[in-house]
Structure 1
Amino acid sequence: MQTISSLTILAMMLPFIGALVAPPLIRRFGHNTAWVLALFPAYAFYHFCQFLPTIADGGAVTGGYVWVPSFNLSFSWFIDGLSLTFALLITGIGTLIVLYSGGYMKGHPEQGRFLCYILLFMGAMLGLVLSDSFLMLFIYWELTSITSFLLIGFDHDREASRRAALQALVVTGGGGLCLLAGLIFLWNMTGVTQLSLLVHAGDVVRASPFYMAALLLVLGGAFTKSAQFPFHFWLPNAMEAPTPVSAFLHSATMVKAGVYLLMRLNPTLGGTAVWEILLPVFGGLTLLVGAVLALRQTDLKQMLAYTTVASLGLLVMMTGFGSEHAIAAAVLYLIAHALFKGGLFMVAGLVDHEAGTRDVTVLRGLRAAMPITFAAALCGAVSMAGLPPFFGFLAKEEIYGALAHGDLRAIVFTAVAVIGNALMFVIGFAVALKPFLGRPMDEIHEGHEVHEGPALMWLGPLVLGLTALFGALFSGVSHALFSTPMTSAIEGHVEEVTASLIPHLNLPLLLSVVTVILGIALYLGLTTVRREVDRFFVALGPGPDRGFDHFVAGTVRFAYKVTAFVQPGKLDTYVTVTFMLLAIVLLVPLFVFGELPDMPHWPVDAKFHELTFLMIAVIGLFAVLLAKNRLTAIVSLGIQGFAVAVLFLLFGAPDLSFTQFMVETLSVVILALVMTRLRLSPSDHRTRRQFLFDSTVAIACGLGFTLMLLKTMQVPFNNALTDFFNAYSKTIAHGANVVNVIIVDFRGTDTLGEISVVMITGLAILALIRIRVTDVAAPQSRDKVETIAEAEAEGKI
């Protein structure tokens, strides 16, 4: 196992460095800077390519450093076949996306900000797939949600963009919290916090009674991130982002994070009946829903977005299917999808950039004006349709080979795969053929001189299309470097992938023929099919997307009502609720768990002067209760405080006694100064009923503190802290007075907080006592005082 070098860490950080320098470079040198910014992910791609021989030989690359050893927390990285393939897709396609953005966003005043977000997004996804520690995985997981929020809402002046960004953040952010809980479960079940070690703890996890809880929480994170039904709705709405974002989001980054997580945890959570039921069912349902909804769309980006939902469903279905070669099929399709979907999205952006529209019912005849774009579109569509000689054909054949068995379960999911692939066949060629074939329509081009787009824009889809072509032609090399290591990493053992372009007369080939025939039939009747599908969904009513709006609106209304209930604007309400909760916390555990203390006996050896000061404290208490106004009550409150301070002194705690004297003196003086500025009569505005209720709460709090202190005093004294402070106060803090050392050194931060509270309180009091009422006071000042007096009378202060 090879250790990560500093150059690898630099490669991981390069997208973030590029994001930092993108805005100033764009401002200084203009859109041509895209070539410079593309060097950041390009070097990362080159660096990770150097690991291909090591990974192909079955090795792995690790690195990182310990952060909190006592909690087994670390910043660590792990590169195997799975993470390396993802890293190469992210950095390779990311390089093309940066170049494409330079042409697409040319002249845009916020191009620098856009490229900054793109590179941040790239860095977040790269960190996610390379993370080994749970901590890093979660941080980068949430960072992808935040950066996608920035990208989807890039055109923040439009309400639709803001709504789509918020929707994506809420859905994927909520899933992230589920993932965090799931990782904590796995940590407690296995005692490890590294994904590379978790692979070897599968038996422990599957045997745990908490397996189901951990599985459902992890699936919650993965399903929301990878837009599985019923969380699929956020992904098509994310098309409000500029096209480079859509191309990157759908091909190599965030939406595949959930699939990556399921593949990574397959050796740990997979192999159970629940895994092989939930993943195929939800994946198959997502495949059908996404593919059918794609038929309804007329916008090129929306058509491709819904087929991404379908493709993600197919990936999840294959990851959890559990048959031989199912994982290999998922791996091949993941690579194929990244290549053809990234290219087709870039084609959609090119068409929109040149023709000024993405409406497939209007577009036609662009082939002569945009021949390179048409060639790139055709490459992507053929691969998406699963036709030779492109990589998509290998994936489709492997999918049918893994699914086609004799049992009922296999037959059902085979039918789902055939229908889903046929529908994606239709959409792929609808995007690649309808805008380019036919007689050009002049009204499309009005105001647009349609011609081939700039090289920055057609380079990306052309490179991805040719990669899919040569990857299939040289499938032996592709499998040795990518497919086999990735499949082996997911399976947890070595599994060789051998799919090739050479046809075999078997059931998978027959299913491919059925897929093509069904796809051609649906393509020829696409207009009618689209109309019928649209009519069906209109009759079906609002879907999850509208449900999200209702959920958000309901949450806001609930929050408003809760806020109005717990924050009515009355200080006495806040104080009452606080003390009620305090009484519950103190008393309920004592009575429920039988922790009541033994009642103390009256001390027979009590001295007269001790009893005298105790009686003075009691007299002070009754003086407070019987006071006719607040000023008298405040002064009486000091009586029992001073009596308690004397008791501290008598029982050998002079430091504590001195502190008590100071606190009581300041409290009486400060409160008296404040109260003299307010109207102090009548002393109590409460009704008898409210008085009895407040008295009950006060007695309950007092009783709770008394019982808790008695119970504490009856517990055997643990002098561990005493010994520690006695041993180290002088040797570490160089202080002979243990109490002072505790306050200033060992509890220095706590003391600083207390001082800050006193300072803020003093400033507030100063503001109050500066309000003066005199015979010559200005009317405005008198109004202020009267307002305060009225508020005080109503119990708000």
Structure 2
Amino acid sequence: MDNSDPRVESGETQKVTAKVKAESSIGIGWIAALPPLVLALVFATGLPAIADGETLRFVYEWVPSAGINLTFLVDGLSLTFALLIAGIGAVVALFSSVTLAGHVHYWRFVFYLLFFMFAMLGLVLADNLITLFVFWELTSVASYLLIGFNHSTAKARRSALQALLVTGGGGLALLAGFILLGSAAGTYELSEIMAMGDTIRDHALYLPIFFLVLAGAFTKSAQVPFHFWLPNAMAAPTPVSAYLHSATMVKGGIYLLARMHPALSGTEVWLWTLTLFGAVTAVFASVLALRQTDLKLALAYTTLMALGTLTMFLGSGATIAIAAAVTFLIVHSFYKAALFLIVGIIDYRAGTRETSELGGLAKTMPVTAFAAAAAALSMAGFPPFLGFIGKELKYEGALAVASEPLFVATAAVLANALMVAIAGIVALKPFYGPRLETPKSPREAPLFMWIGPLGLAVLGLVFGLMPGLISASLVQPAVTAIAGQPEEVKLALWHGLNLPLLLSVVTFVLGISFYLGHQKLRGFLVRVEQRLPATADQMWDRFLDGLKASAAWQTRILQGGILRRYLFVVFATTALGGVVTLYVTDAARWPEILPDFTIKHLLVVGLIAGGAIMTVFAGSRLAAICALGVVGMGVALIFVIFGAPDVAITQLLVETLVVILVAVVMLRLPSLERDPMKGARIFDAILALFVGGVVTVILLSVLDTPLDRTITAYFEEKSMPEAFGRNIVNVILVDFRALDTFGEIAVVAVAALGAYVLIKGTKKAKQQ
């Protein structure tokens, strides 16, 4: 008889089950790669038309009354990004089918990855500001899910939340900028706004628009001082890091700057802001990359360098600088995706990413070593790779910056030299030299792992040898879209003996020197970091702690459980808001002609004033509610005097019912005790007079403003033929605002039930 529990698997059975799941994931990994691959092929079919100068536009009405449409535009810029997003997405999906094979949440990961791709494609193809913003926020949500995929670890949860808060905060600023931009341009369609550059730049709202849009772009693309979230995003699985850094979210900010270039560029503030922040980010990130011992973190900081370089060149209006940005965008996507995936292979097969634990892997992993060498040579900018052409263009673009060519060129040379050193650390240190012991016995990766990075690295070589393949089809259309006018761009591997070539030689010499001395430089950087009062990441933690402390403080002040304080804050805030609005808009008016007051008018006013005064000084709740009912009766009389008897009847019924119901409730409440805060009533009186004065000024200003009869005329015209009612007020309440009226009734009913339960519960508690 077998007494074993069939629900409990043996250790050997669990291993077999995991192996079967892993093999199953690898075998069907192509399914996850199929959607992005198909999209890449679809986008590739549009290359000839886009190269000929055509643009494709698709419009679907979303909120036409507000000018918001689901509009998508395919031009040189959006097509370049779409091809990178879809193509690299296919490579990453294929790679992840091996590294996450057998993972219990593998298909959830695939869904997150495809969701991320969908959001990025929507972002780069959107031709409406609001549509773009929707997809912009979806990329933040998708990246949050991917960065926090290993949610069992505190590091992944913290990094995901940090990325969401930083990019989400920038997204709110971006939304405000888009609303102002749409208001200034009179349209939310990007293709129309891009043709209104002079109008936008001359508009009074240009500076607010510029800085709000820049806040969104800088937080998304991790420019200093928002750079700290990107290295922390390395808590995500390696395929996510490869996708995030090469073709998706962090490039979203770069895409936004490129897309807004025709409308917002050409001013001193645009030039200097993008140039300075881009240069600082590029050099600063390159130095920090040299500090890292984790290969994945080193590559993360080189991504910051690339983003800073792209921002720096987009600050210029020179065609060669824009061409340099577009070419480097493509170069960086190829080599960065390849190198991240190669680091993933090293970690998967050797069990570590630490440079001090790696060496001599080329003998056991020859294909991976070859792919790493090819990608690193493109990263370092050696000929005949596409990276060399991109570097030459960067130097030409730097020298073409009219304001500060020396500053931009120096920053570019220093950053690129550090990239040469990092390329050597990533491609040479793990694969060559003495063989070091690693946690796992290394061997070559499966086909699905190395085929992607090898293909991307080879593309860098092919496009370097034959730059004409992408010159007319991708680079030139993208430059035309960014510049806002037709531009001619030709890529070439050899430009002759010139200053950019000399700068390249200087870059190689400096880079090799940095590589040979990187251990000493790393030690120096570690000592400098230890003496700093706080890193950017630590300052973020302090910011959050301060935010929480501030929230706790204002909660104690504003929400201390005292109803009087709640009411005081609400009414004071409302009145101050009214005063500020009247002042800013200069809307305060005093009617030139006031109506003639008769005895009946004065009597009604006296009745209302008397009821209000009696309410304030009443000694019991019952007397106060009855006096308040007198105020309501006075309002009803005003309706009668000015010819609204139906409204007056409603007012009388409501007031009578309220007085009766509240009076019944009062019988169950304890007697009114002496006010413990009697000294504070003077402040209540001052606030009441202030609120009343503000409301009076607003009403008088409204009376002095010509009445817009658009809505009134609509109800007059539609009440009888469509609602079959002669009483417009009743028709509005019952037909046009039926759901609203129902909602109000529901709210009152729920409040009444809540009050009944509360009073009944209080009575039972006292009896016990």
TM over 0.5: same fold?
yes
Q: Which residue of the partner structure matches residue 477 of structure 2?
A: 485
1:571 and 1:321 map into 2 onto residues whose CA distance is 58
Instruction: Using the TM superposition, give the Cα deviation of residue 302 of structure 1 relative to its aligned residue in structure 2, in angstroms.
Output: 0.6
Pick from 81, 90, 94: which aligns with 2:85?
90
1:169 aligns with 2:164: yes
Instruction: Using the TM superposition, give the Cα deviation of residue 724 of structure 1 relative to its aligned residue in structure 2, in angstroms.
Output: 4.0
Q: CA 1:589–1:504 in structure 2 vs 1: closer, same or farther (change >3 Å)?
A: closer
Instruction: Using the TM superposition, give the Cα deviation of residue 145 of structure 1 relative to its aligned residue in structure 2, in angstroms.
Output: 1.2
Instruction: Using the TM superposition, give the Cα deviation of residue 729 of structure 1 relative to its aligned residue in structure 2, in angstroms.
Output: 1.0
Q: CA 1:109–1:593 in structure 2 vs 1: closer, same or farther (change >3 Å)?
A: closer
Q: CA 1:518–1:706 in structure 2 vs 1: closer, same or farther (change >3 Å)?
A: closer
1:532 aligns with 2:496: no
Q: TM-score, normalised by structure 2?
A: 0.90
Query: Is the Cα contact below 8 Å between 1:199 and 1:268 reproduced in 2?
Result: yes
Q: Which residue of the partner structure matches residue 287 of structure 1?
A: 282
Instruction: Using the TM superposition, give the Cα deviation of residue 501 of structure 1 relative to its aligned residue in structure 2, in angstroms.
Output: 2.6
Instruction: Using the TM superposition, give the Cα deviation of residue 460 of structure 1 relative to its aligned residue in structure 2, in angstroms.
Output: 1.1
Q: Which residue of the partner structure matches residue 495 of structure 1?
A: 487
Instruction: Using the TM superposition, give the Cα deviation of residue 503 of structure 1 relative to its aligned residue in structure 2, in angstroms.
Output: 6.0
Q: Which residue of the partner structure matches residue 557 of structure 1?
A: 549
Q: Which residue of the partner structure matches residue 233 of structure 2?
A: 238
Q: CA 1:404–1:641 in structure 2 vs 1: closer, same or farther (change >3 Å)?
A: closer
Query: Is the Cα contact below 8 Å between 1:206 and 1:269 reproduced in 2?
Result: yes
Instruction: Using the TM superposition, give the Cα deviation of residue 702 of structure 1 relative to its aligned residue in structure 2, in angstroms.
Output: 5.0
Query: Is the Cα contact below 8 Å between 2:120 and 2:249 reproduced in 1?
Result: yes
Aligned letter for 1:768? Answer: L
SS of equivalent to 2:404: helix
Instruction: Using the TM superposition, give the Cα deviation of residue 713 of structure 1 relative to its aligned residue in structure 2, in angstroms.
Output: 6.1
Q: Which residue of the partner structure matches residue 68 of structure 1?
A: 63
Q: Which residue of the partner structure matches residue 660 of structure 1?
A: 651
1:520 and 1:541 map into 2 onto residues whose CA distance is 32
Aligned letter for 1:782? Answer: Q
SS of equivalent to 2:496: coil
Q: Which residue of the partner structure matches residue 336 of structure 1?
A: 331
For residues 20-49 of structure 1, what are the alpha-carbon distances to aligned partners after superposition, in whole Å with 9 as ceiling and x for unaligned?
A: xxxxxx999645332112111111011111
SS of equivalent to 1:436: coil
Could you tell me which runs of 5 or more consecutive residues in structure 1 were left unpaired when the two chains were aligned: 1-25, 784-797
1:119 and 1:350 map into 2 onto residues whose CA distance is 22
Q: CA 1:730–1:379 in structure 2 vs 1: closer, same or farther (change >3 Å)?
A: same
Greater mean alpha carbon deviation, residues 486-495 or residues 297-306: 486-495
Query: Is the Cα contact below 8 Å between 1:674 and 1:768 reproduced in 2?
Result: no
Aligned letter for 1:93? Answer: I
For residues 302-345 of structure 1, what are the alpha-carbon distances to aligned partners after superposition, in whole Å with 9 as ceiling and x for unaligned?
A: 11011111111111122223445111111111111100010000
For residues 594-629 of structure 1, what are the alpha-carbon distances to aligned partners after superposition, in whole Å with 9 as ceiling and x for unaligned?
A: 63567776525x5xxx98888776765666556443
For residues 153-202 of structure 1, what are the alpha-carbon distances to aligned partners after superposition, in whole Å with 9 as ceiling and x for unaligned?
A: 11222222122112211221222222222223322332232222222212
Query: Is the Cα contact below 8 Å between 1:134 and 1:183 reproduced in 2?
Result: yes
For residues 116-163 of structure 1, what are the alpha-carbon distances to aligned partners after superposition, in whole Å with 9 as ceiling and x for unaligned?
A: 111111111111111111111111111111111111111222222122
SS of equivalent to 1:553: helix
Greater mean alpha carbon deviation, residues 166-175 or residues 352-361: 166-175
Query: Is the Cα contact below 8 Å between 1:677 and 1:772 reproduced in 2?
Result: no
1:737 aligns with 2:746: no
Pick from 668, 678, 682: which aligns with 1:677?
668
1:470 aligns with 2:490: no
Q: CA 1:133–1:640 in structure 2 vs 1: closer, same or farther (change >3 Å)?
A: closer
Q: CA 1:299–1:707 in structure 2 vs 1: closer, same or farther (change >3 Å)?
A: closer
Aligned letter for 1:513? Answer: V
SS of equivalent to 1:770: helix
Could you tell me which runs of 5 or more consecutive residues in structure 2 were left unpaired when the two chains were aligned: 1-20
1:584 and 1:157 map into 2 onto residues whose CA distance is 47
Q: Which residue of the partner structure matches residue 106 of structure 1?
A: 101
Q: Which residue of the partner structure matches residue 319 of structure 1?
A: 314
Pick from 206, 209, 230: which aligns with 1:211?
206
Q: CA 1:721–1:529 in structure 2 vs 1: closer, same or farther (change >3 Å)?
A: closer
Q: Which residue of the partner structure matches residue 6 of structure 2?
A: none
Q: TM-score, normalised by structure 1?
A: 0.87
* Number of residue-to-residue matches in the alignment: 745
For residues 42-66 of structure 1, what are the alpha-carbon distances to aligned partners after superposition, in whole Å with 9 as ceiling and x for unaligned?
A: 1101111110110111111111223
2:427 and 2:316 map into 1 onto residues whose CA distance is 32
Q: Which residue of the partner structure matches residue 570 of structure 2?
A: 578
Query: Is the Cα contact below 8 Å between 2:331 and 2:386 reproduced in 1?
Result: yes
Aligned letter for 2:513? Answer: A
| Aligned CA-pair RMSD | 2.9
Aligned letter for 2:546? Answer: G
2:23 and 2:663 map into 1 onto residues whose CA distance is 65
Query: Is the Cα contact below 8 Å between 2:386 and 2:460 reproduced in 1?
Result: yes
Q: Which residue of the partner structure matches residue 426 of structure 2?
A: 431
SS of equivalent to 1:65: strand
Pick from 589, 593, 603: which aligns with 1:595?
589
Aligned letter for 1:675? Answer: M
Q: CA 1:732–1:391 in structure 2 vs 1: closer, same or farther (change >3 Å)?
A: same
Q: CA 1:564–1:596 in structure 2 vs 1: closer, same or farther (change >3 Å)?
A: farther
1:387 aligns with 2:382: yes
1:762 aligns with 2:752: yes
For residues 43-96 of structure 1, what are the alpha-carbon distances to aligned partners after superposition, in whole Å with 9 as ceiling and x for unaligned?
A: 101111110110111111111223333432211111111111111010000000
Q: CA 1:431–1:593 in structure 2 vs 1: closer, same or farther (change >3 Å)?
A: closer
Instruction: Using the TM superposition, give the Cα deviation of residue 109 of structure 1 relative to its aligned residue in structure 2, in angstroms.
Output: 1.2
Q: Which residue of the partner structure matches residue 9 of structure 1?
A: none
2:324 and 2:702 map into 1 onto residues whose CA distance is 64
For residues 724-764 of structure 1, what are the alpha-carbon distances to aligned partners after superposition, in whole Å with 9 as ceiling and x for unaligned?
A: 43332111111133221021122323322321221122112
Aligned letter for 1:78? Answer: L
SS of equivalent to 1:729: helix
Pick from 713, 716, 738: which aligns with 1:748?
738
SS of equivalent to 1:368: coil
Query: Is the Cα contact below 8 Å between 2:210 and 2:264 reproduced in 1?
Result: yes
Q: CA 1:421–1:669 in structure 2 vs 1: closer, same or farther (change >3 Å)?
A: same
1:256 aligns with 2:270: no
Instruction: Using the TM superposition, give the Cα deviation of residue 535 of structure 1 relative to its aligned residue in structure 2, in angstroms.
Output: 1.9
Query: Is the Cα contact below 8 Å between 1:673 and 1:769 reproduced in 2?
Result: no
Query: Is the Cα contact below 8 Å between 1:91 and 1:122 reproduced in 2?
Result: yes
Q: Which residue of the partner structure matches residue 625 of structure 2?
A: 634
Percentage identity across aligned positions?
45
Pick from 670, 694, 716: which aligns with 1:726?
716
Instruction: Using the TM superposition, give the Cα deviation of residue 491 of structure 1 relative to its aligned residue in structure 2, in angstroms.
Output: 2.1
SS of equivalent to 1:75: strand
2:252 and 2:698 map into 1 onto residues whose CA distance is 51
1:45 and 1:297 map into 2 onto residues whose CA distance is 35
1:376 and 1:590 map into 2 onto residues whose CA distance is 67
Correspondence 1:598-613 to 2 at 5 A: 603=598, 606=600
2:350 and 2:619 map into 1 onto residues whose CA distance is 85
Aligned letter for 2:421? Answer: V
Query: Is the Cα contact below 8 Å between 2:25 and 2:98 reproduced in 1?
Result: no
SS of equivalent to 2:355: coil
1:429 and 1:469 map into 2 onto residues whose CA distance is 18
Instruction: Using the TM superposition, give the Cα deviation of residue 483 of structure 1 relative to its aligned residue in structure 2, in angstroms.
Output: 1.8
Query: Is the Cα contact below 8 Å between 1:404 and 1:507 reproduced in 2?
Result: no
Correspondence 1:290-369 to 2 at 5 A: 290-369=285-364
Instruction: Using the TM superposition, give the Cα deviation of residue 536 of structure 1 relative to its aligned residue in structure 2, in angstroms.
Output: 2.5
